[in-house]
Chains A and B, each alone.
Chain A
Amino acid sequence: MARVGVIVFPGSNCDHDAYHALKHVMNAEVTFLWHKETDVSGLDMIIVPGGFSYGDYLRSGAIARFSPIMQELIRYAQKGGPVMGICNGFQILLEAGLIPGAMRHNEQLKFICKDVHIRVESTQSIYTSSLQKDQLLTIPVSHGEGNYYIDNDGLKELQDNDQVLFRYVNAQGETTPEANINGSIDHIAGITNKHKNVLGMMPHPERAMERLLGKEDGKHIFESILQALAIA
């Protein structure tokens, strides 16, 4: 059974959602990792959850990036360990330099909390290997700073290396300007690092796990991960 760690920073608020999603819906073994811990041994994957770590002071994720657990997480990721950053977790991974780019305030300055459509752009990662290219998923977002930025050279590298996993699209799966909810460059909703073991995504798959609660498209992503981990 896959063993998954969920990091808890002061101000994390999606840690329990991630725990519930993996433990009770996906039947994985899950442990919380307090930000002061330094032992990540024996874990098959680490999730950096959403929330407002350290009150998002200075910039989202900027302070969390220096906590003790993050130094271990960076080593874990550099050795190829799977790391998934969701929302604030994505922001923290950007600040830590595990994924290229940065987050700006949403173009319209509004905090956006709603269901969005994202399109699977690449299946060349453990996060999407059991999904279909161009598959549409409906998953909620909840962020004020999700406006992804990277310079032109960096963007080209992401595209050439197939690192963009998810883009914001409309219900028909098209990248219309209105579908790009926060103004992200190239409609980017989720990307990996070069080695594709580290994923950052703004939408919250852990909040779309059970039909009873409205939607379950997020489950497909976790199914893909757990399948890939079981084979590996």
Chain B
Amino acid sequence: MFKAKVNVTLRPSILDPKGKAAHHALQNLGLTNIEGVRIGKFIEIDVQASNEEEARGIVESACSKLLANEVMEDFEIQFES
């Protein structure tokens, strides 16, 4: 079994109101060195496959079909070794 770790992030050009609100709150906490915050999603996926390449294909298809909306989000897949 393969364990995939997926990060789904808003494209850089897309406004991130949640990140902006968190950034604002962090500044209010006095953490004024923080220059920007972007919030995304972290997803763990267990896949049954005979090799990593096959597992990657399955996870990629999961991401582009459902887990990420590619109109405004990017995804990045890493496998635990």
Query: What is the interface of chain A, defined by CB distance below 8 A to chain B?
Result: 58-59, 62-63, 66, 94-95, 100-102, 104-109, 147, 149-150, 183
Asked whether, in the complex, the Cβ of A62 is within 8 Å of the Cβ of B69, the reply is: yes
Given contacts A58-B66, A62-B69, A101-B71, 15 further A-B contacts (CB under 8 A): A58-B67, A59-B69, A63-B66, A95-B69, A100-B71, A102-B69, A105-B17, A106-B17, A107-B15, A109-B17, A109-B21, A147-B17, A149-B14, A149-B71, A183-B15
Q: Which B residues are in CB contact (< 8 Å) with A106?
A: 17
Which residues of chain B from 23 to 51 have any CB-CB distance to chain A below 8 Å in the complex? Answer: none
**Chain A proximity of B72: nearest CB distance (Å):** 5
How far does the Cβ of A155 sit from chain B's closest Cβ, in whole Å? 12
B18: chain A residues at CB < 8 Å are 105, 109
Q: Is the CB of A104 within 8 A of B17?
A: yes
16 A-B pairs with C-beta separation under 8 A: A59-B69, A94-B71, A95-B69, A100-B71, A102-B72, A104-B14, A104-B15, A105-B17, A105-B18, A107-B17, A109-B17, A109-B21, A147-B15, A147-B17, A149-B14, A183-B15
Query: A66–B65 Cα gap in the complex (Å)?
Result: 10
Which A-B residue pairs are the 8 nearest by beta carbons? A102-B71, A102-B72, A109-B17, A105-B17, A109-B21, A102-B69, A107-B17, A149-B72
Q: Using Cβ atoms and an 8 Å threshold, which residues of chain A touch B21? A: 109
Q: Which residues of B contact A100 (CB under 8 A)?
A: 71
A30 to B43, CA, bound (A): 41
In the assembled complex, the Cα of A94 lies from the Cα of B14 at a distance in Å of: 17
- Measured between beta carbons, the chain A residues less than 8 angstroms from B14 are 104, 149
Contacts of A109 in B (CB 8 A): 17-18, 21
A136 to chain B, nearest CB (A): 28
Give A105 to B14 CA distance when docked, in angstroms: 11
List the A residue with the shortest CB-CB distance to B68: A59
Nearest neighbor of B21 in chain A, beta-carbon distance: A109
